[in-house]
Structure 1
Amino acid sequence: MKPARPLLAAFATLFAVATLSTRAATPPPAPPASQVFYQVFFRSFRDSNGDRIGDLKGLTAKLGYIRQLGATTILLTPLQPSPYYHNYFATAFRAVDPAYGTLDDYFAFVRAAHAQGLKVYLDEEFQYVAEGHPWWRDSICKPHAQYAGYLLWKDRQHCVAQPFLDKAKWLGYDGRDIGIAMVNLENPAVRDYFRDLLLYWADPHGDGSGRDGVDGFRIDHMMDDLDHKGLDTHLFTDFWAPIFQALKARRPTLRILAEQAGWGYGTKWLTDGHVDMVFAFPLRGALVSLDKRTIVKAIRATDAATPAGKQQVVFLENHDVDRYMSEVRGDPAKARAGAAIELMLKGDPLIYYGQELGMRGMQPKNVGKSGGIPLTDAVGIPVREAFRWQADLEAPGSAIWYKGGQWFWKDRYNRSNDGVSLQEEETRPDSLYHWYRRLLALRHARPELRQGSQRILCDDDSAVLCILREDGRRRTLLLVNLGKTEARPRLDPALAAGPAWVDLLDGGKPAPVDAVLRPMQVRIMGTPE
């Protein structure tokens, strides 16, 4: 979320979204391993018991699908109980929303994922609590209560909690008005509580083995001065760094991915914040534009902003932004071009569930306006619709928890038999689903795409984007014509006339690298193995 926006816009973005012992030295950071994230909006992925709500058993049953697609790592949205459907703003932290299953179901899922060679990252947001959390419920007007110091208060009597974005109540999609309060992150007891909480998820058995533990965390809305209020300050040094130090001491290979507040390049988070990865938000904006100069500028700025040993997570979609297929107005050629650039660039790519099918969805633009859509957390539902397993949207297993008489069901983007489902696309070799599988197979087969350097070629006024990935003598060259007419890549003659090139999208057949490309055509050339 982006707290610098005006109040209403910030709320829309959020919901379209949402004492350490210092004696142990922090171990050296583990070498970054290439990952392909698959982000699951949990409630919308797969239902196992017929209640239309995605759940842990449903996700566990579909781990094979995620692995076969080519992902290596599952990034989950929060699982903790919350009055909100997206499960940000918790009412309990060391727990699982009962709609999703039990703690036993959760640990069974983690074990099953690891058995398939998949890593698991949990999304954590604990800078706030929702009304109903015991820290709040048991401390109202009780300044001496056990957990009264765990929250921030506006009055000495502790009768009014310090609210999120200065609004006392926030309306949910189901009509409930719910309070959200700021947690007192400057309280050492709070820091210790969350340190122990994350250690529990990372190492449930407490023996350093990580058995049943997650492999990383996503930190939602990470800030140094929470919401720029001057109430929770110096968080990078005093709150986050000690927690991350404890996690790395216990699990040296565990990784921290931050959603940097403000959605910039994230350099301060990678340096001062001591995280391993941030999201490449500016690059995502450039990829939406499909404009060569904009993309080249964003690639260079992203590379310059990323210290050695740190990573950017490259993405087209997530639970806070519009679906890429809708961004390109349903143009399959543009969807393929965007996917190819994302998956061939330096960084760890992220695929948002259903992106590989071309699922559509855009957040409404008339939120809070006269005659428009009310300002609730429902504004994010269009980009969080049910994963399309079957051609029939309402087939068993479909997580259409949002079905009903409200606008987000009536105006839903995904419809039965619209061609955008796994069932329909598996049988079409030319489908977007198979395009993603081919690209991901290439990424796994070519070391230079996972760990190699990156150079921008054809740096001219032509419309052909040329990205060269290299690792020793191995080379892969991405060529994409982002223009509206045919174009030929303007490559250095020495490169074109050098060692033989093969077309990696055409069975590895020898081919010239400077052949003419149609508008939005993608070619991926490589040096033979």
Structure 2
Amino acid sequence: MKQLKLLFIAFSLCLQFVQGQATQHNRSAGPKNNTEIIYHVFQRSFFDSNGDSHGDLNGIYQKINYLQQLGVTAILLTPLYESMYYHNYFATDFYKIDRRYGTMADYLRLIKELHRRHMKFYMDMETQYVASDNIWFRDSYKKPASKYSDYIFYTDKGNTKPVSIVAGITDFTGYDGVTRKLVMVNLDNKQVQQFNYDLFKFWIDPNHDGKFDDGVDGFRLDHMMDNLDNANRLPHLFTTFWRPLLTKLRAINPKIKIVAEQAEWGSFGIDNLKAGSVDRVFAFRLAFAIRNFNKKELMLVADSTLLQTPANKQQVVFIENHDMQRFADAVKGDPGKLRVGCALNLLIGGVPSIYYGQELGMKGNKGNFGMTDGNDIPDRQAFEWYKGDEGPGMAYWYKNGPWWTKNNTDIPNDGISLEEEKNDSKSLWNFYRKIINVRKNNTIITTGTYTNLVNNNDHVFSFMRYNGHEKFIVVVNLSAEKQDVAVDINADNKTPITALMGSKPLVNNNKFRLSLNEFGVNVIKLDTH
């Protein structure tokens, strides 16, 4: 799916400190939105619990302590449902869990344990397309009399011409070398709409007892569009499909959160938030701006992203995901840039999302193996648990193929592994823990109002979150050279100032004066009461 999505994106852009311990408190005491930190997991590559080299649900269960030690409060998995593709998009059966991941019992045990520890769980869903192995297509192709005849969008009466998906793709080859048809589902069909409601409802409350301890806390809607693929086949989905569906789901559990992956990565996702009725979108333009280390771009995009977002809606702030070149790869492993990326990811606002292994500085970039989903495997490599990159739980499911010999970045003794970084106070992993702690202790990051702060240095980006007299300020050096800066701020020598990270600024004529090391990060709190 993602290789196809990138083709569509290019086309559309051309057009426009503590080990977590289990507790027994009521789940309602869990993290609120202003303390939530999502850990985005490509689960097949995370931790293998049974020795088959595939990451699985029990592997995640065994690593909940790790997640809590890092400081995250929620996990987002890529799809779990049965599919012929390794990434599990294009479902064969939406109700069945991929057997490589485990059983429904394994799933329920994981969900209940996460909830017992006051953590949240989000499920990735994509029901707009299916592959040719799905019964909707198998039973209806060239069979107009099939009960599934109108489930698939056909353009002829004989059901021989299904509508293609993103960028006109009709056939797609998996990394296993098998080619399948990919087709658009008819979301205008009332039976399809009912199926979606029943499906989403099932994952919200699998045992139908109304308690939700075994259900998801929300969904990620993959490739959400009003006019699906701009094909003018389904040009009105916000009104006819998404809003009605989400309204009914919220009637079941008003606390669920819906995040849309807006298909137009160059947009701010505002239409999805307003017309699409979702709670959150992904801050793609901000993610790209952070990678560019350009002050003017960051100021423009951060301001637009965070201030255009409607009240009570949120942006999910990230710097990498399962469809993108790893941030560490993009910045060539530069330690300073990795720390700046971490700080902006977690402190600029919104709901932060960390892609598994990002906290270690794992690398990976897309391959070039033709029209195949194998191109994305380098961005989805095994989490590096060990110094020597071998040991129990390593999820090397992809070893048999060119993606291993040509694009493998899992190099022993390279300083990138949990074993190497955990006990190193100067490691990227420990820096993530430090920044996460700063965020958790300063909820004004998400409850306060965002504003860019003017300064006199083209290499220094500065912003503030404020709420009345309380102000939280971040000043970041975007360059590899030491920089002096004066930041405009309403403060004087008597203003109480706390340096949460970096040196305490000098205050003169309502300006902060700082000297920042290369890629330095200063975090300051003040009270102007």
* Number of equivalences: 501
Q: Which runs of 5+ in 1 are unaligned?
A: 12-30, 368-372
In the alignment, is the contact (CA less than 8 A) between 2:3 and 2:375 conserved in 1?
no
2:461 alignment counterpart: 465
In the alignment, is the contact (CA less than 8 A) between 1:465 and 1:479 conserved in 2?
yes
Mapping 1:51-450, distance limit 5 Å? 51-165=52-166, 166-263=168-265, 264-364=267-367, 367=368, 373-450=369-446
Mapping 1:509-528, distance limit 5 Å? 512=506, 513-527=512-526
Q: Using the alignment, how far apart are the partners of 1:460 and 1:523 within structure 2?
A: 16
Q: Using the alignment, how far apart are the partners of 1:220 and 1:204 within structure 2?
A: 22
Which secondary structure does the structure 1 equivalent of 2:524 belong to?
strand
TM-score (norm 1): 0.90
Q: Using the alignment, how far apart are the partners of 1:118 and 1:380 within structure 2?
A: 29
The amino acid across from 1:116 in the alignment is R
TM-superposed deviation, 1:276 = 0.4
The amino acid across from 1:278 in the alignment is V
In the alignment, is the contact (CA less than 8 A) between 1:486 and 1:516 conserved in 2?
yes
Q: Using the alignment, how far apart are the partners of 2:270 and 2:4 within structure 1?
A: 18
Structure with higher strand content: 2
TM-superposed deviation, 1:108 = 0.8
In the alignment, is the contact (CA less than 8 A) between 1:313 and 1:349 conserved in 2?
yes
Q: Using the alignment, how far apart are the partners of 1:285 and 1:472 within structure 2?
A: 31
Which secondary structure does the structure 2 equivalent of 1:209 belong to?
coil
TM-superposed deviation, 1:456 = 1.3
Q: 1:489 to 1:510 in 2, by over 3 A?
A: closer
In the alignment, is the contact (CA less than 8 A) between 1:32 and 1:310 conserved in 2?
no
Q: Using the alignment, how far apart are the partners of 2:108 and 2:317 within structure 1?
A: 29
Provide, for residues 207-226 of structure 1, a one-character-per-residue CA deviation record: whole Å limited to 9, x for no partner. Answer: 43212010010000001111
Provide, for residues 101-159 of structure 1, a one-character-per-residue CA deviation record: whole Å limited to 9, x for no partner. Answer: 01111111100111121100000001011121111112222212122211111321223
In the alignment, is the contact (CA less than 8 A) between 1:466 and 1:489 conserved in 2?
no
In the alignment, is the contact (CA less than 8 A) between 1:387 and 1:399 conserved in 2?
yes
In the alignment, is the contact (CA less than 8 A) between 1:67 and 1:116 conserved in 2?
no
Q: Using the alignment, how far apart are the partners of 2:451 and 2:476 within structure 1?
A: 15
Q: 1:133 to 1:210 in 2, by over 3 A?
A: same
TM-superposed deviation, 1:206 = 2.3
Q: 1:4 to 1:389 in 2, by over 3 A?
A: closer
In the alignment, is the contact (CA less than 8 A) between 2:35 and 2:440 conserved in 1?
no
Q: 1:266 to 1:110 in 2, by over 3 A?
A: same
Spell out structure 1 runs of 4+ moving beyond 4 A: 1-11, 31-34
Q: Which moved more, 1:449-458 or 1:107-116?
A: 449-458
2:491 alignment counterpart: 495
TM-superposed deviation, 1:342 = 1.6
TM-score (norm 2): 0.90
Q: Using the alignment, how far apart are the partners of 2:109 and 2:5 within structure 1?
A: 40
Q: Which moved more, 1:181-190 or 1:490-499?
A: 490-499
Mapping 1:5-84, distance limit 5 Å? 33-84=34-85
In the alignment, is the contact (CA less than 8 A) between 1:337 and 1:522 conserved in 2?
yes
The amino acid across from 1:83 in the alignment is M
Q: Using the alignment, how far apart are the partners of 2:422 and 2:5 within structure 1?
A: 43
Instruction: Report the identity percentage.
Output: 40
Q: 1:286 to 1:8 in 2, by over 3 A?
A: closer
Q: Which moved more, 1:457-466 or 1:411-420?
A: 457-466
1:475 to 464, 471, 488: 471
In the alignment, is the contact (CA less than 8 A) between 2:85 and 2:174 conserved in 1?
yes
Q: Using the alignment, how far apart are the partners of 2:11 and 2:204 within structure 1?
A: 31
Q: Which runs of 5+ in 2 are unaligned?
A: 13-31, 507-511
1:28 alignment counterpart: none
Q: Do structure 1's residue 452 and structure 2's residue 448 form an aligned pair? A: yes
Q: 1:97 to 1:310 in 2, by over 3 A?
A: same
Provide, for residues 7-42 of structure 1, a one-character-per-residue CA deviation record: whole Å limited to 9, x for no partner. Answer: 79679xxxxxxxxxxxxxxxxxxx954421110001
Q: Using the alignment, how far apart are the partners of 2:273 and 2:156 within structure 1?
A: 36
Q: Using the alignment, how far apart are the partners of 1:334 and 1:182 within structure 2?
A: 41
Which secondary structure does the structure 2 equivalent of 1:436 belong to?
helix
TM-superposed deviation, 1:425 = 0.2
In the alignment, is the contact (CA less than 8 A) between 1:388 and 1:398 conserved in 2?
yes
Which secondary structure does the structure 1 equivalent of 2:247 belong to?
helix
Which secondary structure does the structure 1 equivalent of 2:466 belong to?
strand
In the alignment, is the contact (CA less than 8 A) between 1:505 and 1:523 conserved in 2?
yes
In the alignment, is the contact (CA less than 8 A) between 1:388 and 1:422 conserved in 2?
yes
In the alignment, is the contact (CA less than 8 A) between 2:385 and 2:418 conserved in 1?
yes
Which secondary structure does the structure 1 equivalent of 2:388 belong to?
coil
In the alignment, is the contact (CA less than 8 A) between 1:186 and 1:239 conserved in 2?
yes
Q: 1:9 to 1:494 in 2, by over 3 A?
A: closer
Which secondary structure does the structure 1 equivalent of 2:107 belong to?
helix
In the alignment, is the contact (CA less than 8 A) between 2:453 and 2:489 conserved in 1?
no
TM-superposed deviation, 1:410 = 3.9
2:25 alignment counterpart: none
TM-superposed deviation, 1:304 = 3.6
In the alignment, is the contact (CA less than 8 A) between 1:312 and 1:347 conserved in 2?
yes
In the alignment, is the contact (CA less than 8 A) between 2:377 and 2:403 conserved in 1?
no
Provide, for residues 455-507 of structure 1, a one-character-per-residue CA deviation record: whole Å limited to 9, x for no partner. Answer: 2112555322111122343322111111343322322364253423222136x
Q: Using the alignment, how far apart are the partners of 1:497 and 1:192 within structure 2?
A: 64
Q: Which moved more, 1:150-159 or 1:425-434?
A: 150-159
Q: Using the alignment, how far apart are the partners of 2:6 and 2:443 within structure 1?
A: 41
Which secondary structure does the structure 2 equivalent of 1:121 belong to?
strand
In the alignment, is the contact (CA less than 8 A) between 1:444 and 1:450 conserved in 2?
no
Which secondary structure does the structure 1 equivalent of 2:150 belong to?
helix
Q: Using the alignment, how far apart are the partners of 1:147 and 1:525 within structure 2?
A: 60
Q: Which moved more, 1:278-287 or 1:519-528?
A: 519-528
Q: Using the alignment, how far apart are the partners of 2:477 and 2:112 within structure 1?
A: 44
